[in-house]
């Protein structure tokens, strides 16, 4: 098939998709190589989201600015430019969760993938804060560690996934489990 015919077929396919409301956009472009994310922490356990089946993974990638932090901001000299926020005071952070993104492009022993790790403070004063520890690589390029604010809507997505509210999470992380009084 020549290129003009291929272009025409593509345009028609997109037009049909728009009319029928069934345009399919590959979701993998949203997080460039991330296949899964594991959310973990005391009081949460481990929640694993697979990008092939869980829209929530892509929502988390968007709301934590994953793409911008990991892949964008490359300066002309090949380094990475961090999109940093000021480090919040420790007392303003609240409970923390770990994010481990399975990238299949991170540095490790030959043939061994190492997840890209981030620390999320979903209930920090002023909205969720994310820290990307320094010294990590994705696809051979260093990821510049730093702090940044995530979108406040992230809390809603985490709640839908079963992450406890701030009071419950603080109590669980402090080792105090809240119990309902028994009816006697």
How many domains in the chain? Answer: 1
Examine residue 151 and state whether it is found in any structural domain, yes or no.
Answer: yes
Examine residue 55 and state whether it is found in any structural domain, yes or no.
Answer: yes
Examine residue 180 and state whether it is found in any structural domain, yes or no.
Answer: no
Examine residue 5 and state whether it is found in any structural domain, yes or no.
Answer: no
By residue range, what is the domain housing residue 150? 24-173
Q: Which of 82-86, 89-93, 157-161 has the lowest mean pLDDT?
A: 82-86
Examine residue 11 and state whether it is found in any structural domain, yes or no.
Answer: no
**In which band, very low, low, confident or very high, does the pLDDT at 118 lie, cut at 50, 70 and 90?**
very high
- Inform me whether the pLDDT recorded for 34 exceeds 80: yes
Count Cβ neighbours within 10 Å for each residue of 76-104 and write b for 16 or more, e otherwise: eeeebebbeeeebeeeebbbbbebbbbbe
Average pLDDT for residues 19-37, to the nearest whole number? 52
Examine residue 28 and state whether it is found in any structural domain, yes or no.
Answer: yes
- Inform me whether the pLDDT recorded for 35 exceeds 80: yes
- Inform me whether the pLDDT recorded for 146 exceeds 90: no
Q: Which of 108, 94, 178 is nearest to 138 (CA)?
A: 108
Examine residue 183 and state whether it is found in any structural domain, yes or no.
Answer: no
């Amino acid at each position: 098939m020549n290129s003009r015919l291929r272009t025409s077929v593509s345009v028609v396919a997109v037009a049909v998709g728009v009319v029928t409301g069934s345009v399919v956009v590959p979701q993998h472009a949203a997080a460039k190589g991330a296949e899964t994310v594991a959310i973990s922490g005391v009081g949460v356990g481990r929640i694993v989201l697979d990008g092939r089946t869980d829209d929530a993974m892509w929502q988390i990638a968007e709301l934590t600015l994953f793409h911008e932090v990991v892949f964008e901001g490359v300066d002309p000299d090949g380094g990475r430019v961090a999109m940093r926020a000021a480090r919040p005071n420790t007392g303003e952070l609240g409970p923390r969760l770990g994010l481990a993104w399975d990238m299949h492009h991170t540095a490790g022993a030959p043939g061994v993938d190492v997840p890209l790790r981030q620390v999320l403070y979903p209930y920090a004063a002023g909205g969720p804060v994310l820290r990307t520890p320094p010294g990590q690589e994705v696809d051979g390029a260093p990821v510049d560690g730093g702090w940044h604010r995530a979108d406040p809507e992230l809390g809603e997505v985490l709640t839908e996934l079963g992450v406890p509210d701030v009071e419950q999470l603080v109590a669980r992380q402090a080792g105090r489990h809240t119990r309902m009084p028994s009816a006697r």
